[in-house]
Structure 1
Amino acid sequence: MIQYTEEKKFTQKQVEELFLSVGWVSGQHPERLYQALMHSSTVFTAWSNDQLVGLLRVLDDGGMMAYVHYVLVNPEYQGQGIAGHLVNLMKEKYADYFYIEVMPEESKNASFYEKFGFKVMNDGVPMQIVNK
Structure 2
Amino acid sequence: MNSNIEYKEIKTFGRDELERLFLSVEWSSGRYPERLVQAMQRYETVLSAWDGERLVGMLCAMDDGVMTAYIHYLLVDPECQHCGIGRRLVEIAKERYADYLKIVLIAYTHGTGFYENCGFHAAHDSVAMYLTEMGD
Q: Per the shorter chain, which TM-score range? A: over 0.9
**2:75 counterpart of 1:72:** yes
Cα distance in 2, alignment partners of residues 74 and 126 from structure 1: 25
Q: Does 1:40 align with 2:47?
A: no
Aligned with 1:12 (options 15, 18, 40)? 15
Q: How does 1:1-132 map to 2 (within 5 A)?
A: 1-104=4-107, 106-132=108-134
CA RMSD of aligned residues (A): 1.1
State the Cα distance separating 1:21 from its structure 2 match.
1.2
Aligned length: 131
Worse overlay, 42-51 or 121-130? 121-130
Contact between 2:12 and 2:37, CA under 8 Å: does it hold in 1? no
For residues 17 and 82 of structure 2, the distance between their equivalents in structure 1, rounded to whole angstroms, comes to: 21
Note the residue ranges of structure 2 that are not aligned, 5 or more in a row. Answer: none
TM-score, with length taken from structure 1: 0.94
Q: What are the superposed Cα offsets for residues 1-40 of structure 1, whole Å, 9 maximum, x if unpaired? A: 1000112242222111111111111010001111111111
Kept in 2: contact 1:10–1:52 (CA 8 A): no
SS of match in other structure, 2:98: coil
TM-score relative to the length of structure 2? 0.91
| CA-CA distance at 1:128 after TM superposition | 1.2
CA distance in 1, matches of 2:52, 2:44: 25
Distance in 1 between residues matched to 2:132 and 2:80, nearest whole Å: 30
Structure 1's consecutive aligned runs of 4 or more residues displaced over 4 angstroms after TM superposition are none
1:31-80 alpha-carbon deviations (Å, 9 max, x no partner): 11111111111010000111100000101111111001121111111111
